[in-house]
Chain A
């Protein structure tokens, strides 16, 4: 079955068929929300920003060019919206790892705490990572963007992006190990297995 591409939908929006934006919203709002939740540490802010981004698309739709990747354009708008959001507001107090996830009600809190320990530690490490490094990891690992796409989005050489991703991952791992019961020599493999069992 043929699927209409994002680019074709966006060109229709640009040419006045605004209802097509609904399809793009359906395709991208969840991924954008995830990206922005990681980048703001706050679900409410992320939700507001997604709305803001789609309104910006409406306003600036004529600036979308034929042949350009819609996803790259979308995330460029998202980065600007996020930067503007914090330019005009007090810094948000991050909700923290527990609040970022939405645990199912009814589970024993102690059991939940035990089971989610390693994953929570990695999430915490990610939140402690410097913003630009966190963004690289979120884009490449959670959003599945290619290095070339990230390079285009950030306006940096692809080679430089690869080096930065390597450094960001290394730093993330260091923070994770430091958080692992304060024991830097903690076996990461063991943690990985625990996560897979969960």
Chain B
């Protein structure tokens, strides 16, 4: 076997998948060729070093929550899947919604709000069915959710801030909105948006996914303001399940001293 014939076999040699007769030929060549032997040894070292690198560990809890929300949405017919030629992510659902679509949604929401106000202020005819009002409320709620999700995807921080504030107007936001808010808390580059998101999540603090999401977000934040606001949230909602996270933060020398102190205090408060 010649030197140039060895190269295709080295990958198999490293993976341990050489056939016995070929392995023998490769070994024979390596014994007699110092250059190829040195190269094989170097590649073997690199191969072994690669084996010492552990995998990147995902935040499986959050990913499961997002996946579950996506699956629910798909099964419920809310999501039709990714657009052709582009990625599709549930919290980025409206990333491709144009300004026109957003304006249309806002106009439609305004009309529905107008109708709702009109119906409530006008003397109700005796024949108005309750079902119609319920339907109207549902439509209004869905429209608000759509506008919120659209705003949360805007590039302007002030628009995203509006989106976060808009969630206050939604009665019982569904899982899509909840997941979008948690995603904003985790990834939004703007501190003010993240702080507003913490406030927006407070009314939903009885939901497990929100409590878990807030606790998961805490060690990932870099802004002391956001870290302290999250600790306040946890203490306010008596989040005993966050005790380990708070303990770790209270001992982390890399963190701002005020954050460490607040974590220590929070730990005492939740008992």
Name the one of B48, B50, B60, B82 contacting A59, with C-beta atoms under 8 angstroms.
Answer: B82
Minimum CB–CB distance from B169 to chain A (whole Å) comes to 27
Given A52-B89, A59-B80, A147-B12, are A141 and B55 neighbors across the interface (CB < 8 Å)? no
| B70 and A122 contacting across the interface, CB-CB below 8 Å | no
Q: Is the CB of A192 within 8 A of B74?
A: no
Cβ A38 vs Cβ B56 within 8 A: yes
Is the CB of A48 closer than 8 A to any CB of chain B? yes
Asked if B10 is at the interface of the complex by the 8 Å CB criterion, the answer is yes
Chain A: how many interface residues by the 8 Å CB criterion?
A: 68
Q: Is the CB of A192 within 8 A of B48?
A: yes
- Residue pair A49, B87 in contact (C-beta under 8 Å): yes
Asked if A54 is at the interface (CB within 8 A of a chain B CB), the reply is yes
Determine if B67 and A29 form an interchain contact, defined as CB atoms under 8 angstroms apart. Answer: yes
Tell me which of B8, B60, B70 has the highest count of chain A C-beta atoms within 10 A of its own C-beta. B8
CB of B14 to closest CB in A, whole Å: 7
Partner of A163, one of B7, B63, B79, B248: B7
Q: Which residue on chain A has the smallest CB distance to residue B52?
A: A195
Within 8 A of B (CB), among A73-123: 81, 84-85, 87-88, 100-102, 105-106, 108-109, 118-119, 122-123
What residues on B are CB-neighbors of A140 within 8 Å? 11, 15
In the complex, chain A residues whose CB is within 8 Å of the CB of B67: 22, 25, 29, 51, 54
- For the complex, is B203 an interface residue (Cβ under 8 Å from A)? no
In the complex, are the beta carbons of A88 and B56 less than 8 A apart? no
Task: Tell me whether A58 and B87 are in contact (CB under 8 A).
Answer: no
> Quick one: which of A84, A106, A166 contacts B43, CB cutoff 8 A?
A166
Q: Could you say which of A22, A101, A106 contacts B252, with CB atoms under 8 Å apart? A: A106
A122/B11 in contact, CB under 8 A: no
Which residues in B have their C-beta under 8 angstroms from that of A123? 53
Indicate whether B254 reaches chain A with its CB closer than 8 angstroms: yes
B85/A21 in contact, CB under 8 A: no
| Closest residue on chain A to residue B67 by CB atoms | A25
**Chain B residue with Cβ nearest A103:** B254
B98 contacts A by Cβ under 8 Å: no
Chain A residues lying within 8 Å of B14, measured Cβ to Cβ, are: 169
Residue ID in chain B nearest A54 by CB atoms: B67
- Whether B118 is near chain A, meaning CB under 8 Å from some CB there, is no
Report Cα–Cα, A6/B45, bound state, in Å.
34
Shortest distance in angstroms between A155's beta carbon and chain B's nearest beta carbon?
18
Q: Which residues of B contact A18 (CB under 8 A)?
A: 71, 74-75
In the bound complex, do residue B79 and residue A170 qualify as a contact, i.e. CB atoms below 8 Å apart?
no
Total chain B interface residues with beta-carbon distance under 8 A: 57
Task: Please tell me if B130 contacts chain A, counting CB pairs below 8 Å.
Answer: no
Decide if A59 touches B39 in the complex (CB within 8 Å): no
List the B residue with the shortest CB-CB distance to A163.
B8
Contacting pair A172 B46 (CB below 8 A): yes
- A192 touching B64 by the CB < 8 A rule? no
Whether A63 sits at the interface, judged by CB under 8 Å, is: no
- Tell whether, in the assembled complex, residue B81 and residue A58 are in contact, meaning their CB atoms are under 8 Å apart: yes
Q: Are B53 and A166 in contact (CB under 8 A)?
A: no
Given contacts A30-B57, A105-B252, contact A189 B45 (CB under 8 A): yes
Q: Which of A141-198 contact B (CB under 8 A)?
A: 141-142, 146-147, 159, 161-163, 165-166, 169-170, 172-173, 176, 188-189, 191-192, 195-196, 198
Bound-state Cα–Cα, A176 to B50, Å: 11
| Binary CB contact string for chain B from 241 to 260 against chain A (1 if under 8 A, 0 otherwise) | 00000001101111100000
Residue A130 CB within 8 A of the other chain: no
**Is A137's CB within 8 Å of the partner chain B?**
yes
A142 in contact with B46 (CB, 8 Å): no
Say whether A47 faces chain B, with CB atoms less than 8 Å apart. yes
Asked if A55 meets B70 with Cβ closer than 8 Å, knowing A18-B75, A43-B56, the reply is: yes
Q: Judge if B219 is at the interface, Cβ distance under 8 Å.
A: yes
Q: List B residues at the A interface (Cβ < 8 Å).
A: 7-12, 14-15, 17, 39, 42-43, 45-53, 55-60, 62-64, 66-68, 70-71, 74-75, 79-82, 85-90, 92, 187, 219, 248-249, 251-255
Q: What are 26 A-B pairs at a CB distance below 8 A?
A: A30-B60, A33-B56, A47-B62, A51-B63, A52-B89, A55-B70, A55-B79, A55-B81, A81-B82, A85-B87, A101-B56, A102-B56, A105-B248, A123-B53, A141-B50, A147-B15, A159-B8, A162-B9, A162-B10, A166-B8, A166-B10, A169-B11, A169-B46, A173-B42, A188-B49, A191-B49
